[in-house]
């Protein structure tokens, strides 16, 4: 029932959307970038599709043998997400850079709303607990059982969402 994300019209869907992030050679690669709009304006959706794979290494794993640039990237991501304190090392790194990628893309398009949406095709909703822990660490406002708003993000509104894909597409 949120007017900012209701009645969205898809303008473009771009697979493997890359967003350059400081501190490394590798861009963040979103599975699908959806540029949408409604009467209130543009909404950017960065879709991360999952079946049973994790959200990548934990921050502890990522920091092991990390270069100065990679450590700087983690600090940058935390700052963009409004963190004053570093995340616990059990948080999954991919959740940080996919969320910031959606946010940076929204800013580039002057969209007032960014959404990082996990589209899970896992029959057991594998890794949902990692997603919810990430939302808890960001002290998100729970809008629905599957949609959270990250507080304190300047210039754009950042929403984190989880949706469950139809399992029939696992066989297609």
How does residue 124 score in pLDDT terms, banded at 50, 70 and 90? confident
Which pLDDT does position 172 carry in this prediction? Answer: 61
Q: H/E element holding 10?
A: strand 9-19
What's the pLDDT tens digit per position in 39-96? 999 999 999 999 888 999 999 999 998 889 999 999 999 999 999 999 999 999 999 9
Q: Which residues of 100-122 are buried (b: 16+ CB within 10 A; e: fewer)?
A: bbbbbbbeebebbbbbbbbbbbb
pLDDT confidence of residue 123: 82
CB-count exposure of residue 133 (10 Å: 0-12, 13-18, 19+): middle
pTM for the model: 0.93
Q: How far apart are CA 47 and CA 163, in angstroms?
A: 10
Of 172 and 107, which is predicted with more confidence? Answer: 107
Residue 122, SS3?
coil
């Amino acid at each position: 029932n949120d007017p900012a994300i209701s009645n969205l019209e898809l303008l473009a869907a771009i697979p493997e959307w890359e967003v350059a992030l400081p501190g490394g050679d590798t861009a963040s690669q979103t599975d699908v970038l959806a540029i949408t709009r409604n009467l209130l304006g543009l909404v950017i959706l960065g879709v991360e599709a999952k079946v049973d794979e994790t959200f990548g290494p934990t921050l502890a794993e990522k920091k092991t043998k990390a270069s100065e640039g990679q450590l700087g990237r983690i600090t940058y991501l935390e700052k963009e997400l409004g963190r004053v304190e570093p995340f616990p090392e059990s948080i999954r790194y991919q959740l940080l850079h996919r969320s910031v990628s959606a946010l940076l893309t929204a800013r580039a398009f002057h969209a007032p709303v960014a959404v990082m949406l996990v589209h899970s095709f896992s029959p057991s909703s594998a890794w949902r607990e990692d997603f919810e822990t990430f939302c808890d660490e960001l002290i998100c406002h729970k809008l629905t059982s599957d949609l959270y708003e990250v507080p304190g993000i300047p210039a754009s509104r950042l929403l984190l969402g989880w949706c469950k894909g139809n399992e029939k597409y696992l066989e297609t």
